[in-house]
Chains A and B, each alone.
Chain A
Amino acid sequence: MNWKFERIAGPYDGPLGGLAWDGAGMLFSDIMNSTIYRFDPKDKGVRIWRKHTNRTNGIAFGENKVLYGCQEGSRRVVRYESDGSTTLTTQVMRDGHVHNHPCAVTVDRRGRVWCCDPYNELATWGPQLFGKLEHASVLRLSQDPAPQRRTWVIDRMTFDTTNPRGLALSPDERILYVSENNIVEDGCRELRAYGILPDGTLAKPLVMCTFGKDVRGAQRGIEGICVAADGNVLGCGGWKRNGPGPLIYVFSPKGAIIGTHEIPGDLPVQCAFGDAGLDALYVTTGDGFLFRARRTGLRGGRKTDR
C-alpha cells in the first residue's frame, strides 16, 4: 500500500522533532526556535501551543493531560502542565550526576517516563557547570509512590547504547524498542527490541534491523519510533546522502520489513498516529517539515504513539 505524504507545515528554519496527538490536534516541536506548535486537522491551522521550550525535542502525553518534553537546551525532562506552567521532574541520577540531553520520551501505563539520553553537540543555556555522563543510555524516571514525597528518581535502563535516539513500548508494554543510531563509520546502528523482565530491568536485546556503510559513509539508521495498535513498529530512518534514502519503515514485531514508504523531505525525525480514526501518520523531518499520510491501513496504539 502506497502512502501519499502531504506537506502540513514547514519548512521551519531548523529541524522539527517530537510529535504528540492530543485527541484532536497534533503537537510538534520546532526545536531550535523553542516552540511547540499544534496542527488542527479540522481547519488545517497551525498555532503556537507553547513558547520558550528550551529546545524541546521529544514530547509525550502522560496523566491528566500533562505533556512531558525533552528540553535539549536545559538537559531535562519537564512537565508542560495544562494550566500553562512547566514543572520539573529531576535531572540528577541516583549517584548525583546530571544526565545528558534527553531527546525522545514515552510514558508507560504506570506513569513512568522513559527517555533516550544521548549527548548533544549543542551546549545547554547558561554556565557549563555539569559534565556529561560517561554513558548515553535509556533512562526511566519515576515518582516515589509515597504521597508525601512524590520525588522523582532516575533508573538507568540500557547498558549497551552509545547514541539512543528513539524509543517506544509494545502495546502490552512488555517490549521496549530502541533505535541505536551512532552515525559514524564504526558506530552501531540498530533497531533493538528489549524484553522488559518481571523485575523491571531489560533483557539482552534482539536486533530487528541493522544499518551499514558504503563508499559514501555510514548510513543513517532509525531515529524516532512509534508502535501501531497491531504491534507493528514504525521507524523514521535514512537520509538522502546515502542508503535507500529517507523512509518510514514498517517492521513486524519479529523484525520483518513489511514495507517502506518514501517521504518527500529529508532526515525523518519522529512519527506518530493522529486524526479522527488514528489512521493518519504524521512525520517530522530534520529539514523542517511536518508531513502527513492519511489512510495508512494502520492505527495508533498506546497513547504516547499517537
Chain B
Amino acid sequence: MLEVDMATRELRSITGKHAPLDQIAKGLNFSEGPAWNSQTGEFFYTDIVGNAIWKWKEGEGHHVVMKPSRFANGLTFDKVGRLLVAGWGGRTVWRVELDGSHTTLVSRYRGMKLNSPNDIVVRSDGLVYFTDSFGALCNVGMGFEDVQRYMDFAGVFSVTPDGKRLRLVIPNMVYPNGLCFSPDEGLLYVNDSRLGLINVYSVRDDGTVGKGRVFYTAVGNESGIPDGMKCDVEGNVYCTGPGGIHIIAPNGKLLGRLRIPDHTTNIGWGDKGWHSLYITTYHGVYRTRLRTAGIPVGSGFR
C-alpha cells in the first residue's frame, strides 16, 4: 500500500484510497533512469554504481540491456522509440538506434567536455534537453576514464536530434538535476538538488527559455532531495524529495507527498494509459498506480 502525508483533498483524487506500492527490483546500487517503452511493454532503468542498463517486463523478469554502461544515468525515449541516455560517468548524451547501434549526440561544449549529463527529456518536436550536473566527477563509484571537471558552470542544454546544434539553454544553476515539460510544453521545470528547489521557465518555440523563477522549495527533513521529476496530464509536478515524492499543483502548492521506503532518485510514467508511476530508489525499483495519467514518454510514439 502506498502511504501519503501532508495530503490535501486534491491528492486523494490523484492516488485514490488504496493505491498499491509494489517492489519490482532490489539489490541495486543507485537505481535511476525509469523509462517505459509503450511499443514493447518494457520498463527500462539504470543501476549507476552497478554500471548497467536493465529492462523489465511483467511476467518475464529483468534482463541486462548493457553492462558496462559507462555509468549511465537518466533515460527516455524519443518519438521514434529510440532510447536516449544521459551518459553521466561517460560524459556524453547518446542514443540507441532501432538497429541497436549507438550514436553519440554530444560530448563537448565549446571544446570542453561536458560535466556529466544527468537526466534527459525530449520535446515533441524532437529537441533533446538534458541537465549537466557534475556528480559523476566527484561521487564515489560513478567516475569513469576522465573525472576532471572543465566547465565552471552547470546548466541545461538542448541538442537537435542530429547532434549538430547544441545550445546552453540555462547557464546558471548550482546542481541541475531533474527536468520535465508542462503538458502543453509551454513551461520547463528544472530542479536544483543543492538548493533543494524547483525552477520554472517559460519555453519559446525556438527552444530557448525565459528568465525563470523559483516554483517550489522542498519540505521535510527525511532522506531525499529534488532529483527525478515528471508532470501528469493535469500539469501537476511530481518531484523526488525528502520522504519520497512531492506532488505540486501548477500554482506551486504542495498537494502531498507519496512516502517511499527508500531514498527516491527518479520517477517515470508507464503501463496502460500511463497511469503507473515507476519509482527508482538507492537500492530498488517500486511501482504504484494512480488515478491521474502521466505525460506519455516520447509522446507515446504517436
Contact = CB atoms under 8 A, between A and B. Distances in A.
Contact of B143 (A84, A88, A129, A130): A88
Contacts of A129: 29-30, 49, 140-141, 282
Contact of A88 (B30, B135, B147): B147
User: Which among B142, B148, B152 has the highest number of chain A CB atoms within 10 Å?
Assistant: B148
A52 interface: yes
Contact of B140 (A51, A78, A86, A126): A126
A74 interface: yes
Contacts of A2: none
B149 interface: yes
Contact of B135 (A98, A125, A130): A125
A77 B144 CA distance: 14
A52 B137 contact: yes
Contacts of B150: 52, 84
A99 to B, nearest CB: 10
Contacts of A88: 143-145, 147
Interface in B118-154: 134-135, 137-150, 152
Contacts of A98: 140-141
A74 B30 CA distance: 16
B263 interface: yes
Interface residues of A, number: 24
Contacts of A84: 148, 150
Nearest to B139: A126
A86 B139 contact: no
Contact of B138 (A50, A73, A80, A130): A73
Interface in B136-180: 137-150, 152
Interface size class of B (residues with CB under 8 A): 20 to 34
Interface string A114-125: 000000000011
B148 A52 contact: yes
A191 B30 CA distance: 41
A130 B140 CA distance: 8
Q: Helix, strand, loop or mixed for chain B's interface?
A: loop
A54 to B, nearest CB: 5
Contacts of A126: 135, 138-140, 142
A35 to B, nearest CB: 12
B140 A124 contact: yes
A76 B139 CA distance: 10
Question: In terms of DSSP, what is the predominant structure of the interface of chain A?
Answer: loop
Contact of A85 (B135, B138, B139, B148): B148
A254 B282 CA distance: 52
A78 B143 CA distance: 11
Contacts of B135: 125-126
B30, B49, B146, B147: which has the most chain A beta carbons within 10 Å?
B147
B141 A130 contact: yes
B148 A86 contact: yes
A186 B288 CA distance: 53
Nearest to B138: A125
Contact of B147 (A50, A78, A124): A78
B107 to A, nearest CB: 14
A127 B137 contact: no
Interface string A269-296: 0000000000000000000000000000
A115 to B, nearest CB: 16
A125 B143 CA distance: 12
Contacts of A51: 149, 152
Given A127-B30, A129-B140, 11 more contacts: A74-B139, A74-B143, A85-B146, A85-B148, A86-B147, A88-B144, A91-B141, A98-B141, A124-B140, A125-B139, A126-B135
Interface of A: 50-52, 54, 71, 73-76, 78, 80, 84-88, 91, 98, 124-127, 129-130
Interface of B: 29-30, 49, 134-135, 137-150, 152, 263, 282
Q: Give the top 5 A-B pairs by smallest Cβ distance, nearest first.
A: A126-B139, A52-B149, A86-B148, A125-B138, A85-B146
20 contacts: A51-B149, A52-B134, A52-B137, A52-B149, A52-B150, A76-B140, A85-B148, A86-B146, A86-B147, A87-B145, A88-B143, A98-B141, A124-B139, A124-B140, A125-B139, A126-B139, A127-B30, A127-B263, A129-B29, A130-B140
